[in-house]
Amino acid sequence: MIKLQPEKFELETTTVWSFPERGKWATHQPNFRGNWAPQIPRNLILRYSKPKDLVLDQMCGCGTTLIECKLTGRNAIGLDINPKMVEMTKNNVKFDIDEDIPKTEILVEVGDARNLKDVKDNSVDLIATHPPYVDIIKYSDGKIERDLSNIHNIDKFCEEMEKVASECFRVLKPKKYCGILIGDTRRKTYFTPIAYRIMQKFIEVGFKLKEDIIKQQWNCETTPYWTEKLKEYNFLLIMHEHLFVFEK
């Protein structure tokens, strides 16, 4: 019998979040590389939406956000450019929930976050999403052309993310929120911002910045490699990401 709900969960109250233990309840996949800890969408969902609301994750990966929607009684749309991710998400949202949680609809299909053609204007109550961080993790090994994790050039990545931002603004209802987690990188040993550039794109399409939350990173797979490099070139390990919350 799987444990459906977290044993200990408290809503975050500050702008620094840290989850040394990645949530393992329900069908979450703690070992999947590149997903976000379920505590992140759970915090966004509980703080910025109510039961029966419609939540969108248009880069849903293996479905962490969608699982949390089902567990908290929110309707949800999950899209991903990668059919394998869509299959994984569909499997991960297949479980029975307790009777006291409102029954909801969870729709999962292949789609491009830059063109949410089947999502109506002003129809979504909350967006909670987590794009690739350029090509730091490649989700389709270069095999899916429209996969944003194939893009190495940061200017090009930001241009494509501007299309994602515009679509977020179009589909979200006024006064509602969009949470997006994004990290930075290092190029030729120099700290190379991605997060603040993406933040700027969201502001340019019309959003107001409600929160800039620093999320501490744990269990980075690249750590042993970088530990060597940082000694050699004298730089610091990047151990944080930004969770921006925008208001339409």
Of the candidates 11, 13, 108, the residue with the CA atom closest to the CA atom of residue 56: 108
To ligand SAM, the closest distance from the beta carbon of 130 in angstroms equals: 4
Q: Is 178 in the site for ligand SAM (CB under 6 A)?
A: no
Q: Is 183 in the site for ligand SAM (CB under 6 A)?
A: no
Sites for ligand SAM among residues 69-98 (CB under 6 A): 79-82, 85
To ligand SAM, the closest distance from the beta carbon of 233 in angstroms equals: 27
Tell me which stretch binds ligand SAM (CB under 6 A): 30-38, 45-53, 96-104, 172-180: 30-38
Helices assigned H by DSSP within the chain:
39-48, 64-72, 83-92, 154-171, 195-204, 223-233
Distance of alpha carbon 1 from alpha carbon 15, whole angstroms = 35
Tell me which stretch binds ligand SAM (CB under 6 A): 15-23, 29-37, 216-224, 234-242: 29-37
Indicate the SS3 state at residue 172: strand
Measured CA angle at 211 (ends 37, 11), to 5 deg: 45
Residue from 130, 176, 242, 248 binding ligand SAM (CB under 6 A) = 130
Q: Is 157 in the site for ligand SAM (CB under 6 A)?
A: no
Q: Is 246 in the site for ligand SAM (CB under 6 A)?
A: no
Q: Is 64 in the site for ligand SAM (CB under 6 A)?
A: yes
DSSP code at position 118:
T
Name the residue nearer to ligand SAM (CB basis): 43 or 64.
Answer: 64
Tell me which stretch binds ligand SAM (CB under 6 A): 146-154, 169-177, 185-193, 206-214: 146-154
Q: Is 23 in the site for ligand SAM (CB under 6 A)?
A: no
Is 86 in contact with 110 (CB distance < 8 Å)? yes
Distance of alpha carbon 198 from alpha carbon 218, whole angstroms = 23
Alpha carbon dihedral 48, 50, 53, 57, in 10-degree steps, equals 40
Q: Is 113 in the site for ligand SAM (CB under 6 A)?
A: yes
How many residues touch ligand SAM under the rule CB under 6 A: the total is 25
Q: How many CB atoms lie within 10 A of CB 166?
A: 18
Distance of alpha carbon 2 from alpha carbon 43, whole angstroms = 22
Q: Tell me the sheet residues that pair with 246.
A: 178, 209
Q: Which residue is nearest to ligand SAM (CB)?
A: 61
Residues that bind ligand SAM (CB under 6 A): 34-36, 58-62, 64, 79-82, 85, 112-114, 130-132, 139, 146-149
